[in-house]
Amino acid sequence: MAVAELSPATSFTSSQSSYVAPSARLSYHRRLSFQHVPRTVSTGIRCSVTSDKIQAPGVINDGKTKQDCYGVFCLTYDLKAEEKTKSWKKMINVAVSGAAGMISNHLLFKLASGEVFGPDQPIALKLLGSERSFGALEGVAMELEDSLFPLLREVSIGIDPYEVFENAEWALLIGAKPRGPGMERAALLDINGQIFVEQGKALNAVASRNVKVMVVGNPCNTNALICMKNAPNIPAKNFHALTRLDENRAKCQLALKAGVFYDKVSNVTIWGNHSTTQVPDFLNAKIHGIPVPEVIRDRKWLEEEFTQVVQTRGGALIKKWGRSSAASTAVSIVDAIRSLVTPTPEGDWFSSGVYTTGNPYGIAEDIVFSMPCRSNGDGDYELVKDVIFDDYLRSKIKKSEDELLAEKKCVAHLTGEGIAVCDLPEDTMLPGEV
């Protein structure tokens, strides 16, 4: 294979100092290509190549190159050396599991484009897949290359969370096994729980000590609890279960009913479990700053239709669409992250499934429950205190709480709390959202 050379006649000025030494620069061309490594042997992350034409197989470990990189992202860029990028923030590491799936296929391009973390935040994407999906992971990395995103400076792919999560500052845990035909919910809790035991342990071992973890893979509340319990060295407050899509759907339905654009709807809380027991809270929600029950004077609609439409929207969509709502889920993940890295607008809040211990609402401690949060934009949040309850809301919240306490008992063997006892009275998984 021919090797590129820089023209000796070319004198690079300081603006070209992002060039790296040729030895480091080109070493990825000579890395082992996949046909030479039985894929089933190693579970580590390996550098891939972008064409099948590599003729000089062999691993070069010169100590300067990255172990876990992809194509053009194997280079090291000195952002401080360039006028255009020297004011940029320090690069952040964002790990994404289920990276070969459809939600990630939307999300990764949003993360890379800068719309999540801003136009001055360079990003390293660390993609976790499975052995089965490894080819697709490479395909995603190739498409990310071809998209020429200025902020995307590293992409690595792998199937071992202990490698992929290294120094991760965000871990977006999207991957989970879908429920197979005839699978009991208890079995689903167990099979996915195992994944989150391993990922929690891996985060605990190798991630940034302040990593923010967002669990999307369902059942996401209990998966987040399992993950958290297996990562005792990471603050419990850093774990989130995604209920933002439910919040967005609730806002849209309230807007539709009231005949207003959805940006007029605020203060919508999703309480509880991301399941059909979830509680879209119309009591505290506002339209044009006015409490929803004063704008939509149809309590029956609010208690019955509204709640049901929000809870079953995912299933309705699958019926129309033939597949689950990957694009809007990805949008809601973006919204959820943005809500943590930008200050919450005055008087408003957002929903997230977070750890209940210390909550001011009287909800059972030690579960992950969706509640209203505010952030000052530092990645952290606090629970909102000025919410009101009525008997209806209390009873609905209680039902979701009971469900999560039952789920917790089902996974006691995964959280280190003894023997699992699984007694789930109803099957409340969101249709199509397993």
Cβ distance to a second copy smaller for residue 265 or 411: 265
Q: Does position 4 bind a second copy by CB under 8 A?
A: yes
User: Which of 118, 259, 343, 360 is in the footprint of a second copy by CB under 8 A?
Assistant: 259
User: Which of 59, 262, 359, 398 is in the footprint of a second copy by CB under 8 A?
Assistant: 262
Cβ partners under 8 Å of residue 253, min gap 6: 306, 309, 310
Work out whether the CA dihedral 370, 375, 377, 380 comes out positive or negative: negative
Cβ distance to a second copy smaller for residue 30 or 229: 30
Residues 34-93 that bind a second copy (CB under 8 A): 50-53, 71-72, 75, 77, 84
Is the CB of residue 294 less than 8 Å from the CB of residue 285? no
Question: For the stretch 8-43, what's the b/e string if a residue is b when 16 or more beta carbons lie within 10 angstroms of its beta carbon?
Answer: eeeeeeeeeebebeeebbbbbbbbbbbeeeeeeeee
Residues 236-255 that bind a second copy (CB under 8 A): 245, 248-249, 251-253, 255
Q: Does position 143 bind a second copy by CB under 8 A?
A: yes
Is the CB of residue 189 less than 8 Å from the CB of residue 422? yes
User: Which of 119, 139, 343, 377 is in the footprint of a second copy by CB under 8 A?
Assistant: 139
Cα-based distances in Å from 292 to 298, 308, 309, 387: 10, 17, 17, 14
Q: Does position 256 bind a second copy by CB under 8 A?
A: yes
The CB-of-243 to a second copy minimum distance in angstroms stands at 13
Cβ distance to a second copy smaller for residue 243 or 356: 243
The CB-of-91 to a second copy minimum distance in angstroms stands at 13
Residues 97-126 that bind a second copy (CB under 8 A): 105-106, 109, 113, 115
The CB-of-301 to a second copy minimum distance in angstroms stands at 5
Alpha-carbon Rg for the chain, nearest whole angstrom, is 23
Phi, psi of 9, deg, nearest 5: -75, -15
Q: Does position 3 bind a second copy by CB under 8 A?
A: yes
Q: Does position 131 bind a second copy by CB under 8 A?
A: no
Residues 306-325 that bind a second copy (CB under 8 A): 309, 313, 316-317, 319-322, 325
- Give the catalytic positions in this structure: 274
Give the C-alpha separation, 330 to 311, whole Å.
Answer: 18
Give the C-alpha separation, 79 to 69, whole Å.
Answer: 18
Which token pair is 157? 């792919």
